[in-house]
Structure 1
Amino acid sequence: MTIINNDNSTAKIGNNEGEEGGGGGGKEKKKNKFLGIIIVFLITLFMSTSAELSQYIVSGDYKAPFTIIWFSTIILSFSMVIEFILLKIELIKERKDSLKISFNNVKHIDYNINSSISGSCNYELNETKQDTLLERFQSKFKVETKINPENGEIITTGITLKKLIIISIPMSILFVGLNWIWMIAISLTEVSISTALYQSASVFCFFLSIIILKEKVKILKTISVIIFMSGIVGIAVTTVGTSKGEYPDAIKGDILMIISAALWGLYEVLTSKFIGDSNRTIVHTYMGLIAFVNLILGIPVIAILNFTRFEPFSVPSPSVFGMLLLNAVVNFSVNYLINWGLSVTSPLFVRSGELMVIVATLIFDIIIKHMDFPLLAIPGYSLIVVGFILSVYIESKNIKQQQKKEIENENETKSLLNN
């Protein structure tokens, strides 16, 4: 359910250097807009499916939340496979472009005729040396130092591969831990309620961003946080005792869901601090490293949980394994769709898919599961929706202002160089 994505990051699937994915021309913009709508719809569908499927698996025949999360996180390693495929395509395209330029610019070819029976003709075309796949991969990890023209402050951007590997170890533990708590929580309460409560991650992001990222307190952000908190309290109070024995530990599930949301808020802020504004290769590698660390450290954890009987391990049946694999693929797809969506449309539009998950899971629980929905909970849900929309609007506005400032700084630098 939880995604590896940093809302402040400009990393994009479609463009390795983080350029705006809107494209030039009306046709391209219309195409991207249509593609963006499809992506947002798929994000809503896949995130809702993941939440409902996760609850079905962990509440049914396979009560092993850690093993489920461990297996699901391993699938993230395919991001590395995708990255190397994209880099290979990039190199092939560069080679083709280089050959075209070489042949177009050739005015004279020196050749030597060998005096042999066959009378062969040889010629040589000088080519620019191209990176190997590994060299191109390594070239994406570099640290650059820039000077802020506004205040003269030195800004360091980028990250080395060694540092990313070191960072991925604690971040993988945090990521798997918060997802484990999420998986336990979702088995104890309604999916629609837990999905709404999980949006409280924005509240924790707000406070942690002030503490860790030293962000300034802004009025609109503060208002959105207050609205969020009011909605969360409203849902928690009005939904107590509505499950009629189906979820006897619903309060415990709600508390665990909020704890998971708090840890997700911490994860987002730390990810923003460590790899914010990173290119596609770094993001894919980060996902792959988290999967690798999870694979190595998860095995002894599963053994300990089995030994203590806290979570007995059992080999899943073919049908259960099929559902586990499906859930893992859906989770991976959500991650990829979000990053792809950022390359063709705005963060505001992409995150609207997350908002629609609240509505989608609520409708599913009421119609399919016949959940008793208290009317008193409507104001709580409404406040969360309003708070979410306001926070997304603020985020989108801040990103646009930042992009505008960066363009102005670049133009100012070019002007100084020309003079």
Structure 2
Amino acid sequence: MKAAIRYTIAVLSLVGMIATWVAMAEIVQDLQTTYPKPYFLTYVVHSGYAFFLITWLVWRSLPCERFKRDDYCGKFGWHDYIEATIWLAFCSFASGYTWYLSLSRTSVSGNTAVYQSQSAFVFLLSVIFLKEKVTVLKVISVVLSLAGVLLIALFPGPSHSNRDMHPSIWGYLLCAMAMLFYVIFEIVYKKKAVHADDPLPLWNAVRVIGLVGIQTLLCYWPVLLILHGTEFEKFELPTGDNLRMLCIDVALDGVYNVLLLVCISMSSPLFATVGLLLVLPVSVVADYVIHKHYTLPAIAFGGVALIALGFVGFCAAEYILQRKEAARAQSCELESSDSFSSSETRRLLSSSTSD
């Protein structure tokens, strides 16, 4: 697949991720207040990913010879994906659960600052494990984005949150754990379940997220019994509006994660993470449009500008790298062609001399 097409798919996936994230934030903000069951919420939402495996199986059964070939489903087989999703399911669940736990123990701005700092850790781990190329422009872009997050976190404007909040060190540690598990999830997926020559990245992302859902559904329910028995989290089925919001959240979260995996497949975890920071300014606009009362302080708009500038800088860095790699590949082809021509010329000359 050409680099331009891959990049376009990554950007479109990112746009979808931002839209679903903003929608989920509106739902979770209400759901966590009226139904404070973090483990059950995490279990149901992540088990809901299993429906994507059903979708993949239906697609696989389509009467099309092109799709029935095993080699057309990418480099990895079932064993590879199942092995990878053992870790992916754990990291995804751990991240979701610890994040839910952190919400009532951190301020909104503090939670945002800690969780969105993941781009720095993704950059570091990508360099170590994925051999991400380090350039000055990439480093500057990540720093600008983090500075923008910090400005928005420090100057969030008037709060209209109704949730009971008791900030503590434990809450920020939980948020940091959620962020680190999420970072590991992205790196493991790119390392263990992505291949550059995958002909169907969307459908293989659907298969992976479906397997994550199956493993969550089968392996994580016993903890519900333990939490209920110890009264740490009493089991109670949601009803009415809570049930409706939970069903919508399951669907949105699943779509978001499929788009995330496609974005990572087409680009890198760092691109997805830096790009997702754009959700902060988009959320500000959504709050203003939906709630009609949220205004961001003038200084925080500087943070919005820094995030946007950081993303543009990162895209520019990726574009420059792609151009250099394309030029290098073209140069190698020309050298190979010249070498072949010289060799062929020498062979012909030798043949005519002997004659």
Tell me which interval the TM-score lies in, with the shorter structure as reference length: 0.7 to 0.9
- Structure 1 residue 49: Cα displacement: 0.6
Instruction: Specify which of 235, 239, 246 is matched with residue 317 of structure 1.
Output: 239
AA partner of residue 291 (structure 1): G
Distance 1:247 1:302 in 2: 24
Change (3 A) 1:171 1:407: farther
Change (3 A) 1:400 1:251: farther
Instruction: Specify which of 126, 129, 135 is matched with residue 212 of structure 1.
Output: 129
Residues 324-381 of structure 1 deviation map (CA, whole Å, 9 limit, x = unaligned): 1111111223344567789999999998984553223213334517446444433334
Conserved in 1, the CA contact under 8 Å of 2:126 and 2:132?
A: yes
State the partner residue of 1:88: 61
Conserved in 2, the CA contact under 8 Å of 1:240 and 1:250?
A: no
- Structure 1 residue 50: Cα displacement: 0.8
Residues 34-59 of structure 1 deviation map (CA, whole Å, 9 limit, x = unaligned): x9998766544322111111121112
Distance 1:369 1:304 in 2: 43
Distance 1:226 1:350 in 2: 16
Residues 6-29 of structure 1 deviation map (CA, whole Å, 9 limit, x = unaligned): xxxxxxxxxxxx567959xxxxxx
Change (3 A) 1:36 1:178: closer
- Structure 1 residue 80: Cα displacement: 2.2
Conserved in 1, the CA contact under 8 Å of 2:47 and 2:216?
A: yes
TM-score normalized by the length of structure 1:
0.64
State the partner residue of 1:167: 84
Change (3 A) 1:203 1:358: same
Instruction: Specify which of 163, 174, 184 is matched with residue 101 of structure 2.
Output: 184
Change (3 A) 1:244 1:334: closer
| SS across alignment from 1:315 | coil
- Structure 1 residue 390: Cα displacement: 2.3
Residues 226-277 of structure 1 deviation map (CA, whole Å, 9 limit, x = unaligned): 2233333334434499669866435766664454333322221222111232
Q: Are residue 224 (structure 1) and residue 141 (structure 2) matched?
A: yes
Instruction: Specify which of 286, 302, 312 is matched with residue 379 of structure 1.
Output: 302
AA partner of residue 162 (structure 1): H
Considering only aligned residues, what root-mean-square deviation do their CA atoms show, in Å? 4.4
Distance 1:405 1:78 in 2: 44
Q: Are residue 307 (structure 1) and residue 229 (structure 2) matched?
A: yes
TM-score normalized by the length of structure 2:
0.73
State the partner residue of 2:43: 70
Change (3 A) 1:411 1:64: farther
State the partner residue of 1:101: none
Q: Are residue 54 (structure 1) and residue 45 (structure 2) matched?
A: no
Change (3 A) 1:259 1:224: farther
AA partner of residue 81 (structure 1): I
State the partner residue of 2:316: 393
Q: Are residue 234 (structure 1) and residue 146 (structure 2) matched?
A: no
Q: Which has the higher helix share?
A: 2
State the partner residue of 1:79: 52
User: Among the aligned pairs, what percent are the same residue?
Assistant: 24
- Answer with 73-82 or 396-405: which moved more: 396-405
Consecutive unaligned residues of structure 1, counting only runs of 5 or more, are 1-17, 24-32, 95-130, 143-157
Size of the alignment, in residue pairs?
336
State the partner residue of 1:45: 19
Change (3 A) 1:261 1:299: same
Distance 2:60 2:323 in 1: 29
- Structure 1 residue 175: Cα displacement: 0.9
